[in-house]
Amino acid sequence: MCKGTYPSLLGYPVCWHSLFIVIWTALKLPIALHRWNVITESLSPGASLNSAASPTETELRISEIRKKIDQMIPPRPFTHEDTTTSATHSTVTILNPRDTYCRGDQLDILLEARDHLGRRKEYGGDFLRARMSSPALKAGASGKVMDFNNGTYLIRFTLFWEGQVSLSLLLIHPSEGTSALWRARNQGYDRVIFTGQFINGSTWINTDCALILNSSTELCQYLDAQDQEAFYCVRPQHVPCAALTHMHSKNKEVSYLSKQERTIFVRSNVGVEIMKNFDVISVSKCNSKCSCVCGGGHVWKETWHPVSCSLAPIKMNECLRGKSIHLLGDSTIRQWIEYFKSKINTLKSMDLHGYGKLQNQLAVDLDRNINIQWQKHAYPLIGSSIYSVKEIEYMARVIDRTGGGKNTVVVISLGQHFRPFPIDVFIRRALNVHKAIQRLLLRSPDTTVIIKTENIREMHSDAERLSDFHGYIQNLVMMDIFQDLNVSIIDAWDITIAYGTNNVHPPQYVVGNQINIFLNYIC
């Protein structure tokens, strides 16, 4: 598989398999014993995540990454919606237009951002999404957006296929909106309320739990002693902290956006088409060869095609023979094990006697010695359905107890559940996973490690908590942190934009194409 080197927006060149959309890509049971040191103590109001005894390296790295992102997203205060970027008033111009284009050509478009009064914007930072498509051909691809930070943008499309092609450029959020989201995100931990269930004999007791708890009562601290990540619950009277068994969550009616800022995120202002008056363009075969750079890809007849990399047809059950597959993370990677089970009829689910939709999963094929397991990441784990906390482990601990080897594959998907919380939580988790992968590859360098980036999701659902802007920033963080490791990338961000899914859980055919890339990596 090819690897392209691209400049990271966080300041470093990154070896990445796909370019992100830039605004500015034998049977082992999986369940271990609970590996927290459970500490009960009285904590002062506003108790924060516990700092390590020697926090310098991690804390400095978090601070460094935060500073880079802060520089990318400067404050853009505003007093009225009229001063924000308007999709209707902004202008787009095709550079060097032609009547007919050849397959493989680059098509460049200049965007001049204007506000609702028609005035030119003097700064960048708008969160844009570019896509081209041919619905009749079931074809699609993302475009690359380059931000000149002066109110103008260059949008570049690679014309991958012949036929009639429609172009789309969406204003997801204006720069004032991205600035507001970034400020609001890092102000509070209480957009999601967690309720912990403690059992005392035959009695259930519910209490508040969180990453941060402003409480003068005694708290239970559930601490990962190695990486100093903690979660807290209000301790019920006369009940030990170890009696916490289950958890669920719900959204809290709280916002750190001003009343004026909230107007930016009403449904009619999110994902507005800028190029709605553009005609389709005609692309012919011509006699030229595609001169595409490595990185990215496109959908053709509902199948994903990387730019400079050939995906071979793989027999799934034979490819997985003798393999131990560890799928770690959220429900978007749980879709993978569900896909495997639906496509390999010899793969049997093991009953792990878990509880609810978030229970860990294990599927095996004893004849082919295939072992596939999905394990959810630790807090913050958002779920309105009740789930057991007794099987929760931090991802780094799961990796640390993985022996590794040439037939071991670890796939990590991290991000969706972190979007409602300050970015420091996500950065710390990514750094701890990075260190665990370093240890794994040191003791077992022939282990395959794959990172699946976040899917895009529903565009109009609760931007303050769940906007793709948060996911985009988290993808940049992952690029920055994991650039020095021998890991492979499945750019689900680029893939789901190309398919135009706008669904955190894309359809099975999209998941199948993600898995086809995975199979080509390991076979």
Of 32-41, 236-245, 251-260, 398-407, give the lowest mean pLDDT range. 32-41
How high is the pLDDT of residue 460? 85
As a whole number, mean pLDDT of residues 73-77 equals 91
- 423-443 and 56-72 are packed helices; what angle lies between their axes, rounded to 10 degrees? 130
Average pLDDT of every residue of the chain: 88
How high is the pLDDT of residue 288? 57
Name the token pair of 141.
Answer: 């691809």
How high is the pLDDT of residue 291? 44
In this model, does residue 46 exceed pLDDT 60?
no
How high is the pLDDT of residue 55? 57
pTM of structure: 0.89
Whole-number percent of the chain with pLDDT over 90: 79
Helix (H) / strand (E) containing 183: helix 175-185
Name the token pair of 347.
Answer: 């793969």
How high is the pLDDT of residue 216? 87
Cβ burial 208-232 (10 Å sphere, 16+ → b, else e): bbbbbbebeeebbbbbbebbbbbbb
In this model, does residue 149 exceed pLDDT 80?
yes
Of 145-149, 356-360, 375-379, 402-406, give the lowest mean pLDDT range. 356-360
Dihedral of CA atoms 393, 396, 397, 403 in degrees, nearest 10, equals 130
Give the DSSP letter string of 357-383. Answer: TTS-EEEEETTTTEEEEEEE--SS---
Task: Return the CA Rg of the chain.
Answer: 24
How high is the pLDDT of residue 289? 55
Reported as a single tens digit per residue, the pLDDT across 474-494 is: 999 999 999 999 999 999 999
Of 35-44, 84-93, 159-168, 366-375, give the lowest mean pLDDT range. 35-44
Could you tell me the sign of the dihedral formed by the alpha carbons of 410, 416, 417, 420, in that order? positive
Question: How sure is the predictor about 456, in pLDDT bands with cuts at 50, 70 and 90?
Answer: very high
d(Cα 328, Cα 308) in Å, to the nearest integer?
A: 29
In this model, does residue 49 exceed pLDDT 70?
no
Of 23-37, 93-107, 277-291, 368-382, give the lowest mean pLDDT range. 23-37
Reported as a single tens digit per residue, the pLDDT across 376-416 is: 999 999 999 999 998 899 999 999 999 999 999 999 999 99
- Tell me how many helices (H) and strands (E) the chain has: 11, 28
Reported as a single tens digit per residue, the pLDDT across 334-348 is: 999 999 999 999 999
Name the token pair of 407.
Answer: 């037939």
How high is the pLDDT of residue 391? 87
In this model, does residue 51 exceed pLDDT 80?
no
As a whole number, mean pLDDT of residues 463-482 equals 97
Q: Which long-range contacts (CB under 8 A, 24 or more apart) does 141-146 make?
A: 141/296, 141/297, 141/298, 141/299, 141/498, 142/21, 142/296, 142/494, 142/497, 142/498, 143/21, 143/167, 143/169, 144/19, 144/21, 144/22, 144/296, 145/21, 145/22, 145/23, 146/22, 146/24
For residues 346 and 398, the answer to whether their CB atoms sit within 8 Å is no
As a whole number, mean pLDDT of residues 442-446 equals 97
358 or 416: which carries more pLDDT confidence? 416
Reported as a single tens digit per residue, the pLDDT across 253-301 is: 999 999 999 999 999 999 999 999 899 999 999 975 554 444 589 999 9
β-strand partners of 348: 364
For strand 488-490 and strand 448-452, is the pairing parallel, antiparallel, or unpaired? parallel
As a whole number, mean pLDDT of residues 419-446 equals 98
Give the DSSP letter string of 305-359. Answer: EESS-PPPP--HHHHTTT-EEEEEESHHHHHHHHHHHHH-TT-EE------STTS
How high is the pLDDT of residue 44? 40
293 or 154: which carries more pLDDT confidence? 154
d(Cα 328, Cα 349) in Å, to the nearest integer?
A: 17
